[in-house]
A and B are shown apart, each in its own frame.
Chain A
């Protein structure tokens, strides 16, 4: 176990994986609790107090979600999470309008649930364009303009990237989609509650939201569906016609209340959350790069959510680094841990070379991260990276002035 300088305020391991999930805010849990027990009613029961209480709670939650993104409450439907929201937005719209438009435009760095949904629609006969990104991870708007046609039904581009944290130019993307009569969907799982979002100002027609990325519970999310002009979609789940027929099934009041409370808190505290995350992010990055040479930030420096720092530590392999810094709960930019031995497709899309992609780690900073935790993490990283570089034949060769590209490596 680590040494004594951990201090009294740090408990190990330190959670730095806020893109994977966030801890539930205790205030959210408190708001949810009554709806598990005493107020257990079915929000769709219209004939008694239990149902009315549950319905009222769900509708208040819906208002809180809507308020956070500048929407009308009638434009928010609850789902099981962002994966379902992304599926419903893209498949739902594609299926509803398939007789008029059959093209979809998305981006290669989207989350797997968007890419897999698009692949599925391709098999059904839709034409999907997967746009590349620039070296900074951002979409080239001219390429987007060229890809959207009057056959395009939906343009789906995520707001904040889960692996590298870059923020796509949403307003401009929405404008380009609308110019051709296409809808604009954004997967905002990593963005909601973290950066200001406004569905009207940003020309967004559909937006996916996740509960557990914003200090709310897992198993709940939302989909914003614009009413004016109206976006129609074909439901994937049929049944009692709940959620305006777009998503049948009894809502879970505690989960909806949890998402609503998480959104309410985010609405009120976004400014201070963002300032907190920004300060810690800058401290982390500045201290690491001051102490260690050859550390590179993946993705645009400015257009980013600061709570996501994806760093490449040249000449140190990511998985060995994760093992070395076991006191930090982080995720490897490389997918080595998932047995595929392939570096991240997002980093590859940025043109990050494979050897560099193998050295990448994502550090996630959030509402509950403390300065003491950041300092502990920085000290640990500096000492372990230095040790692993001493052990790295690549580092040794570079110090000797050898150009690694001049070596004939035997790919295996």
Chain B
């Protein structure tokens, strides 16, 4: 399969690979996908006191498109509020990376990962 230049770039030079401490109050963690399906994404956001995503990290088990999709969204969410980040759509990811139809599920998973990370962060701060 021929990958787009953008996929190859993110795959070769993934942005923001790594992990934050899951227990940190300012961190939201999203873990989506399933090993049996061949894709698992872990996306973490670090949120400032005023509700801005100041940093993001990911780790992904999956094909090149899955790795590229998650790498891309770590760049996109940075500097956004939680509400803004929640508006990122899989179609934008797929379009930006020029994903072929069989790889659309990778962008869907990346969108799910953002939503899961936000939900995790919000769950930690329900009392606040």
Contact = CB atoms under 8 A, between A and B. Distances in A.
Interface of A: 315-320, 323, 334, 336-337, 339, 341, 343, 353-355, 358, 390-396, 404, 407, 409-412
A323 B64 contact: yes
B98 interface: no
19 contacts: A319-B63, A319-B64, A320-B11, A323-B11, A337-B1, A341-B38, A354-B36, A358-B35, A391-B17, A391-B59, A392-B60, A396-B19, A396-B59, A404-B35, A409-B34, A410-B34, A411-B34, A412-B108, A412-B109
B14 interface: yes
A68 B2 CA distance: 41
Contacts of A355: 34-36, 38
A394 B62 CA distance: 10
Interface in B1-45: 1, 3, 11, 14, 17, 19, 31-42
A174 B109 CA distance: 50
* Most interface-central of B33, B35, B39 (chain A CB within 10 A): B35
A343 B108 CA distance: 21
Given A390-B17, A409-B33, A358 B38 contact: yes
B36 A411 contact: yes
Contacts of A320: 11, 62-64, 66-67
Given A320-B64, A409-B36, A393 B3 contact: no
A393 B59 contact: yes
Given A354-B36, A393-B61, 5 more contacts: A320-B62, A323-B11, A323-B64, A336-B38, A412-B105
Chain A to chain B: the 5 pairs with minimum beta-carbon distance, closest first: A355-B35, A409-B34, A393-B42, A354-B36, A319-B63
A79 B62 CA distance: 41
Contact of A411 (B3, B37, B102, B108): B37
A317 B40 CA distance: 10
Contacts of A319: 38, 62-64
B46 to A, nearest CB: 17
A394 B66 CA distance: 14
B110 to A, nearest CB: 12
Contact of A393 (B14, B41, B64): B41
A410 B39 CA distance: 11
A193 B31 CA distance: 50
Nearest to B100: A339
Contacts of A409: 33-36, 40
* Most interface-central of A334, A343, A392 (chain B CB within 10 A): A392
Nearest to B8: A323
A218 to B, nearest CB: 23
A343 B36 CA distance: 9
B38 A317 contact: yes
Contacts of B11: 320, 323
A238 B32 CA distance: 57
Nearest to A390: B17
A171 to B, nearest CB: 38
Contacts of A393: 31, 40-42, 59-61
Contacts of A411: 34, 36-37
Contacts of A341: 37-38, 102, 105
Contact of B33 (A316, A337, A354, A412): A412
Contacts of B35: 354-355, 358, 394, 404, 409
Contacts of A339: 102
Contacts of A392: 59-61
Contact of A334 (B38, B59, B60, B64): B38
B24 to A, nearest CB: 16
Interface in B68-113: 102, 105, 108-109
B66 A323 contact: no
A323 B108 CA distance: 21
